[in-house]
């Protein structure tokens, strides 16, 4: 049948066999001359060959996505239609990415190096001779206010970025997500009323928040949001979503066509498994490669040359493991500022997955790349219902019904018993029956599965929420409030996109072009045989 | 501390914390929500038609014992109109299946369901004891595993049932999703979350416990006082499934919804069209008609090796080459009966409950 018992005694490929550390000799497999300095997934490389190897891997992952036509002809060189934003967390991956991107795309010579004929070597559009992006910004989001006792590293990160002359540094704070001044600064319209949700109710009932001086401070709103989350798993997941949306809105406000993230192969495998374990199977493709279309009106955002202002999020280190990143940082003497470690540990899916994958990578280096390669062969099933208001990624429809069918959590009304009413269940006096909540506005229908689970799924040890209560609505990030209060929001339920936007939304997807498509794209440049 | 009231009926005393939701509920509400969720799964997936003959794959373990109980309850409660049977496989290992088959026999009496115990001896002409005497203990699991996979289908075909239901639970499925991602088995990953599988030449097979947590199945058996026989399969610590199982348990401890969340993920994605085009096409065995990836299915290869005194033929490449060098199989070779989908009345007698 289709299932596999996974018993190694009945299936040859059920065993995870440990291979030798390296395949053949201790000499470099590339130059075949020098003694090896590093083993990368069973292959030995010397230090001299390591640097070009990593640079080539970076360009192979990034170059096809630079030009407005993805994976199209690059004969005329690389030219992005907008600016570049690089997300820097202070961790190993983004520090290495910053160095590699600066070295590859922002270390051009002025004037260009000339060849024997007096022309720029490699052509005038070669990344060495011309800038691929007109302007590059490095954005750091400080998250220390979300984690009690965490250290503010903004100044250290600023000093690390200062070494790169052609890059502009923009520091943000995670509480900016709740700051109307920040929202205003990036072109968002200030909302007339602030909304909050009742996180103790699975429907996430919405209500207005009274604007009081102290509780109105963004930092207090953030802390209220974080401390209301029901599990240790939800905290890093929520901070990650806030950070991602802050970066995307910053990319929009800087006219960027690309956002680069320092996700290494190891980090990618961690985020894939972690996302799948939190119900994010529908967006498994977005974990590796995605496009985001701003929901703000055209007039409020800077043009980045892409249709609908779409921003391409690329993870150029997705073929480079954590070990290679560490060696790059070590040999290049990079100053890795470091990131705050979330102390949730064993009670949080994110850190648990990291521990699991890093352990696997140590003993079975190929398994980590297998995870990424396997997930790259997956696509979401049909049935996109729109975009989640919180994470702004594609969402499926009908999730609330699905959840209530396979995991019954309440008997809201008598009709939920269907054909059979359990004999022990007391007859309710209709006068005392609880008010149906369906008439109250709720956030749940506007969320994807993962975000709804983050806000509502509880631990078996009870909730970690310390401030959640029905009478104390939890504030929402600015983009959620903005979209909810804008005209005629529709829940995640149909193939149609939201009608409240100023122009039609277009989900931009990339696909590998076949020979005929490629030929059609370059037909004007082809000569007759 | 005052006793807590059930979070669902809000009247009875809460007796348990539900593993799936963390809610504190009473025993009767637990039975009700557990059974209703299985009913919802069956109805939503349109698993059965009135008048269907359904075989419950019964091993005597917890999953199949609870499945038999729940299927009987739901069939009566919601008038599914199903003819339910119990189907057990006896591998023929002295002292191993005896206890669990006793459990199945008790289920037969209790639920008044006809029972068919089908032995390897009946299907393949070999008991596992006989196989072990020829191949030794080292590779005997290879034979047992391959033969068992076909046995339920062949047994169901003999009973002329339309449908087999098995006790695979949510933990099994979530574990399989993780395992298939880790070992890059894209074909199995694409189909492991399907509630119902049916090839052109196989009997419909479903998992009504797809969303039922293992802990809740044990809890149901405990509160209903169902007895079952626990047989643990000890996997090698270096098996993919072993790694996936340990990791899943940690995830569940961190957030119980992780099991359902993984299944939801598995249902939300599919193998990309261009990848599907490169996958091997399933065919049928030229000798026994069962589905196979090669001309000869694994069970036929193993059986030919046993019959010709070269048991390693189905295990190693060297053994297979050795067998091929001996020439084609003799005409009088004992083979597995040709597999046909059921048509008409059952061809074998089944044990009635009286």
pLDDT per residue as tens digits for the range B67-120: 999 999 999 999 999 999 999 988 887 777 777 888 889 889 888 899 999 898
Say if the ipTM goes beyond 0.90.
no
pLDDT score for A129: 64
> Looking at the predicted structure, is the pLDDT value of residue B44 above 80?
yes
Same domain? B167 vs B269: yes
User: Which among A379, A418, A424 has the least Cβ separation from residue B269?
Assistant: A379
Domain end (from B279, B309, B327): B279
A425 min Cα distance to partner chain B (Å): 6
Range of A144-148, A208-212, A409-413 with top mean pLDDT: A144-148
Same domain? B245 vs B314: no
Number of H helices, E strands in chain B: 14, 11
Beta-bridge partners for B116: B87
Other Cβ atoms less than 10 A from the Cβ of B346: the count is 16
A265-277 vs A365-375: helix axis angle to the nearest 10?
60
| 3-state SS assignment for residue A280 | coil
| Separation CA B216–CA A384 (nearest Å) | 32
Could you tell me if A112 and A118 are in contact, meaning their C-beta atoms sit under 8 angstroms apart? no
Same domain? B275 vs B287: no
Closest chain A residue by Cα to residue B194: A2
pLDDT score for A244: 97
B 17-46 residues with CB < 8 A to A: 17, 19-23, 26, 28-29, 31-33, 36-37, 40-41, 44
* Chain B residues lying within 8 Å of A424, measured CB to CB: 9, 12, 26, 28-29
pLDDT score for A341: 75
User: Which among B186, B211, B261 has the least Cβ separation from residue A278?
Assistant: B261
Other Cβ atoms less than 10 A from the Cβ of A366: the count is 15
Closest chain A residue by Cα to residue B204: A1
Beta-carbon contacts of residue A396 (< 8 Å; ≥ 6 apart): A282, A383, A384, A385, A448, A449, A492, B268
A 474-493 residues with CB < 8 A to B: none
The confidence band for A509, taking pLDDT boundaries of 50, 70 and 90, is very low
User: Which among B186, B255, B268 has the least Cβ separation from residue A377?
Assistant: B186
> Looking at the predicted structure, is the pLDDT value of residue A324 above 90?
yes
Q: Do B26 and A409 touch (CB under 8 A)?
A: no
User: What burial letters (b/e) apply to A374-406, b meaning 16+ CB within 10 Å?
Assistant: bbbbbbbeeebbbbbbbbbbbbbbebbebbebb
What's the half-sphere exposure (Cβ side, CA atoms, 13 Å) at B263?
23
Share of chain B above pLDDT 90, in %: 37
pLDDT score for A354: 93
Same domain? B195 vs B310: no
**Alpha helices (runs of H) in A290-419, residue ranges in sequence order:** 322-331, 349-363, 365-375, 399-406
| Separation CA B93–CA B128 (nearest Å) | 6
Q: Do B243 and A16 touch (CB under 8 A)?
A: yes
Beta-carbon contacts of residue A525 (< 8 Å; ≥ 6 apart): A73, A75
Beta-carbon contacts of residue B10 (< 8 Å; ≥ 6 apart): none
* Chain B residues lying within 8 Å of A278, measured CB to CB: 258, 261
- Looking at the 3D structure of chain B, how many domains does it have? 2
Which of B37, B78, B254, B312 should one mutate to test binding to chain A, selecting the residue with the greatest count of A CBs within 10 A?
A: B254
> Looking at the predicted structure, is the pLDDT value of residue B167 above 90?
yes
DSSP assignment letter at A27 = B
| Separation CA A355–CA A357 (nearest Å) | 6
Which of B44, B164, B182, B339 should one mutate to test binding to chain A, selecting the residue with the greatest count of A CBs within 10 A?
A: B182
A322-331 vs A92-105: helix axis angle to the nearest 10?
60
Could you tell me if A485 and A191 are in contact, meaning their C-beta atoms sit under 8 angstroms apart? yes
* Chain A residues lying within 8 Å of B28, measured CB to CB: 422, 424-425
Same domain? B308 vs B266: no
Q: Which of B176, B195, B175 is nearest to B187 (CA)?
A: B176
In a domain, B19, yes or no: no
User: Which among A7, A232, A277 has the least Cβ separation from residue B258?
Assistant: A277
In a domain, B21, yes or no: no
In a domain, B228, yes or no: yes
Q: What is the mean pLDDT of chain A?
A: 81
Same domain? B224 vs B143: yes
SS (H, E, C) A370-428: HHHHHHCCEEECCCEEEECCCCCCEEECCHHHHHHHHCCCCCCCHHHHCCCCCCCCCCC
Closest chain A residue by Cα to residue B255: A459
Ligand-binding site membership of B305 (annotated): no
Could you tell me if A7 and B192 are in contact, meaning their C-beta atoms sit under 8 angstroms apart? no
| A432 has a chain B CB within 8 A of its CB | no
Could you tell me if A148 and A219 are in contact, meaning their C-beta atoms sit under 8 angstroms apart? no
Inter-chain CB pairs, A–B, below 8 Å: 238
Same domain? B186 vs B307: no
In a domain, B326, yes or no: yes
A 281-340 residues with CB < 8 A to B: 281-282, 284
The CATH number covering residue B238 comes to 3.40.50.620
Same domain? B193 vs B181: yes
pLDDT score for B68: 96
| A397 has a chain B CB within 8 A of its CB | no
The confidence band for A439, taking pLDDT boundaries of 50, 70 and 90, is low
| Separation CA B245–CA A339 (nearest Å) | 30
| Separation CA A80–CA A67 (nearest Å) | 5
In a domain, B89, yes or no: yes
Share of chain B above pLDDT 70, in %: 90
| Separation CA A346–CA A332 (nearest Å) | 34
Q: Do A407 and B250 touch (CB under 8 A)?
A: no
pLDDT digits (tens, 9 = 90+) for B124-144: 888 888 888 887 766 677 777
Domain end (from B232, B253, B279): B279
Other Cβ atoms less than 10 A from the Cβ of A37: the count is 16
pLDDT score for A106: 86
> Looking at the predicted structure, is the pLDDT value of residue A519 above 70?
no
User: Which among A378, A408, A418 has the least Cβ separation from residue B271?
Assistant: A378
Other Cβ atoms less than 10 A from the Cβ of B255: the count is 27
| Domain architecture of chain A: domains with CATH | 66-485 (3.40.50.620)
Domain end (from B258, B279, B300): B279
- The pairing of strands B53-57 and B163-165 is parallel
Q: How far is CA A378 from CA A288, A451, B271, in A?
A: 11, 21, 5
**Which residue range(s) make up the domain with B310?**
281-339
Same domain? B178 vs B252: yes
| 3-state SS assignment for residue A152 | coil
pLDDT digits (tens, 9 = 90+) for B282-324: 778 888 888 787 888 888 888 888 888 887 777 777 777 888 8
| 3-state SS assignment for residue B307 | helix
Could you tell me if B340 and B157 are in contact, meaning their C-beta atoms sit under 8 angstroms apart? yes
In a domain, B73, yes or no: yes
In a domain, B297, yes or no: yes
Same domain? B293 vs B188: no
| B191 has a chain A CB within 8 A of its CB | yes
Backbone angles phi, psi at B270, to 5 degrees: -145, 165
Same domain? B199 vs B309: no
> Looking at the predicted structure, is the pLDDT value of residue B238 above 60?
no
pLDDT digits (tens, 9 = 90+) for A152-179: 999 999 999 999 988 999 999 999 999 9
B187 min Cα distance to partner chain A (Å): 9
* Chain A residues lying within 8 Å of B73, measured CB to CB: none
User: Which among A16, A407, A458 has the least Cβ separation from residue B239?
Assistant: A16
> Looking at the predicted structure, is the pLDDT value of residue A425 above 90?
no
Q: Do B265 and A276 touch (CB under 8 A)?
A: yes
- The pairing of strands A311-314 and B204-206 is unpaired
| 3-state SS assignment for residue A469 | strand
Same domain? B187 vs B267: yes
What's the half-sphere exposure (Cβ side, CA atoms, 13 Å) at A148?
6
| Separation CA B184–CA B178 (nearest Å) | 10
| A517 has a chain B CB within 8 A of its CB | no
């Amino acid at each position: 049948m289709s299932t596999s018992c996974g018993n190694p005694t009945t299936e040859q490929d059920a065993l995870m066999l440990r291979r030798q550390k390296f395949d053949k000799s201790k000499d470099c497999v590339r130059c075949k001359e020098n003694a090896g300095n590093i083993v990368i997934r069973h292959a030995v490389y010397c230090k001299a060959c390591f640097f070009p190897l990593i640079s080539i891997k970076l360009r192979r992952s990034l170059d096809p996505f630079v030009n407005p036509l993805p994976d199209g002809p690059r004969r005329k060189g690389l030219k992005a239609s907008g600016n570049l934003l690089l997300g820097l967390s202070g961790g190993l991956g983004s520090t290495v990415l910053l160095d590699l991107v600066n070295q590859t795309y922002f270390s051009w010579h002025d004037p260009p190096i000339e060849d024997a004929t007096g022309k720029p070597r490699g052509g005038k559009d070669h990344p060495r001779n011309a800038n691929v992006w007109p302007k590059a910004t490095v954005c750091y989001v400080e998250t220390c206010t979300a984690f009690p006792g965490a250290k503010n590293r903004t100044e250290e990160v600023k000093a690390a970025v200062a070494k790169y002359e052609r890059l502009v540094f923009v520091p943000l704070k995670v509480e900016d997500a709740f700051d109307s001044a920040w929202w205003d600064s990036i072109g968002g319209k200030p909302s007339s009323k602030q909304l909050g949700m009742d996180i103790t109710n699975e429907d996430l009932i919405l209500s207005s928040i009274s604007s009081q001086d102290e509780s109105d401070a963004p930092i207090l709103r953030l802390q209220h949001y974080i401390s209301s989350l029901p599990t240790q798993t939800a905290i890093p997941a929520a901070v990650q979503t806030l950070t991602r949306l802050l970066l995307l809105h910053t990319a929009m406000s800087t006219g960027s066509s690309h956002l680069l993230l320092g996700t290494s192969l190891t980090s990618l495998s961690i985020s894939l498994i972690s996302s799948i374990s939190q119900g994010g199977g529908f967006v498994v493709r977005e974990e590796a490669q995605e496009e985001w279309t701003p929901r703000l009106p055209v007039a409020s955002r800077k043009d980045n040359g892409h249709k609908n202002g779409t921003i391409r999020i690329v993870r150029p280190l997705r073929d480079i493991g954590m070990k290679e990143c560490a060696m790059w940082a070590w040999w290049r003497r990079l100053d890795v500022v470091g990131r705050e470690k979330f102390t949730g540990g064993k009670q949080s899916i994110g850190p648990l997955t990291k521990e699991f994958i890093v352990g696997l990578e140590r003993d079975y280096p190929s398994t980590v790349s297998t995870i990424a390669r396997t997930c790259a062969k997956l696509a979401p099933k049909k049935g996109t219902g729109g975009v989640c208001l919180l994470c702004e990624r594609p969402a499926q429809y009908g999730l609330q019904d699905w959840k209530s069918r396979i995991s019954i959590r309440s008997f809201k009304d008598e009709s939920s018993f269907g054909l059979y009413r359990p004999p022990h269940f007391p007859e309710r006096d209709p006068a005392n029956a609880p008010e149906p909540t369906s008439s109250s506005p709720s956030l749940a229908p506007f969320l994807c599965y993962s975000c709804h689970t983050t806000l509502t799924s509880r631990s078996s040890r009870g909730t970690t929420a310390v401030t959640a209560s029905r009478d104390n609505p939890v504030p929402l990030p600015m983009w959620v409030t903005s979209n909810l209060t804008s005209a005629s929001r529709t829940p995640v339920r149909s193939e149609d996109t939201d009608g409240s936007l100023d122009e039609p939304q277009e989900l931009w997807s990339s696909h590998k072009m076949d020979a005929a498509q490629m030929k059609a794209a370059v037909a004007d440049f082809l000569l007759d045989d | 501390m005052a006793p807590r009231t059930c979070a669902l009926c809000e009247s009875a005393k809460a007796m348990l914390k539900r593993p799936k939701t963390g809610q504190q509920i009473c025993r009767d509400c637990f039975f009700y929500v557990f059974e209703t969720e299985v009913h919802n799964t069956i109805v939503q997936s349109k698993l059965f038609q009135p008048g269907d003959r359904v075989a419950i794959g019964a091993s005597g373990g917890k999953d199949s014992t609870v499945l038999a109980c729940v299927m009987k309850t739901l069939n009566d409660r919601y008038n599914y109109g199903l003819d339910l049977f119990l189907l057990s496989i006896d591998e023929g290992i002295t002292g191993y299946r005896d206890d669990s088959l006793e459990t199945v026999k008790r289920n037969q009496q209790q639920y008044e369901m006809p029972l068919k115990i089908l032995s390897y001896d009946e299907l393949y002409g070999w008991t596992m004891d006989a196989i072990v005497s020829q191949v030794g203990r080292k590779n005997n699991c290879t034979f047992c595993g391959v033969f068992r996979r076909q046995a339920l289908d062949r047994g169901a075909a003999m009973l002329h049932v339309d449908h087999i239901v098995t006790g695979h639970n949510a933990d099994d499925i979530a574990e399989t999703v993780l395992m298939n991602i880790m070992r890059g088995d894209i074909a199995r990953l694409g189909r492991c979350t399907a509630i119902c599988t049916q090839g052109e030449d196989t009997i419909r097979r479903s998992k009504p416990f797809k969303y039922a947590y293992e802990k809740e199945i044990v809890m149901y058996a405990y509160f209903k006082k169902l007895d079952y026989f626990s047989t643990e399969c000890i996997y090698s610590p270096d098996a993919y499934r072993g790694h996936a199982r340990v990791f899943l348990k940690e995830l569940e401890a961190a957030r119980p919804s992780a099991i359902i969340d993984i299944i939801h993920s598995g249902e939300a994605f599919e193998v990309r069209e261009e990848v599907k085009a490169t996958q091997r096409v399933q065919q049928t065995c030229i000798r026994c008609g069962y589905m196979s990836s090669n001309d000869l299915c694994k069970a036929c290869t193993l059986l030919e090796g046993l019959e010709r005194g070269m048991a390693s033929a189905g295990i190693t490449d060297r053994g297979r080459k050795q067998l091929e060098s001996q020439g084609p199989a003799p005409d009088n070779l004992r083979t597995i009966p040709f597999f046909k989908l059921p048509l008409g009345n059952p061809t074998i007698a089944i044990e009635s409950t009286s």
